[in-house]
Amino acid sequence: MQTLALIDYGSGNLRSAEKALKEAARRRGVATDIVVTTDPAIVAKADRVFLPGVGAFASCRAGLDASGVYEAMNEAVHQRGAPFMGICVGHQLLATEGLEFGVTPGLDWIGGQVKKLAPSDPSLTIPHMGWNAIAFSRAHALFTGIEDGAHMYYANSFALDAADPADVVATSDHGGAFVAAVAKGNVAGVQFHPEKSQAAGLTLLANFLEWRP
């Protein structure tokens, strides 16, 4: 039985992420204890770490800092090599910094800045809401069984502009390409909401539960 630490730092999609992870584990038959937690001791020893996120970059970073789990996350992910996934703002927090309401430092686990979407077509609205296709930049184990062009569910006004193109796994387009997924070593993030992306999203979560970077 592996343990997955689902970080609770006041994020709005915590329970839907928990439900989707449990369903992904059930469907794939992966014995996983999914623990919603703010306890640094649990996070530090977890086999996998999952960071959700809804809202503004700065407020989510403040919530993460206030939770007291950053050092434990760093120990689990960078000292022990536990696989990590961030979704939506949890993915954006991987960046060096976010440019929403000023400049806010990110975790700097994936180099780059989180910038506001700027569609070339003025008829396209911000926030970018709803279903959109992903286009793979390279193959990755997390997307095994997911077709190029699969549709995922988004709710975002900002996106991570990765400094190193090699970190980009997939993009989507909303009046211009933006980063949909990144991965570097045992760290990964997706801009879309896998917990709202039906079969493709559950496949991604199940792949994460089995991922051996």
Catalytic residue positions, numbered: 88, 193, 195
Residue 162's Cβ-side half-sphere holds a number of Cα atoms within 13 Å equal to 25
Closest Cα to residue 21, out of 54, 60, 51, 64? Answer: 51
Q: Which two tokens stand for residue 212?
A: 């051996």
Q: How many CB atoms lie within 10 A of CB 148?
A: 11
Closest Cα to residue 207, out of 80, 32, 5, 25? Answer: 25
Extended beta strands in the chain, E state: 2-7, 32-37, 48-51, 84-87, 97-98, 104-105, 112-116, 128-133, 135-136, 151-156, 158-162, 168-173, 177-184, 187-190
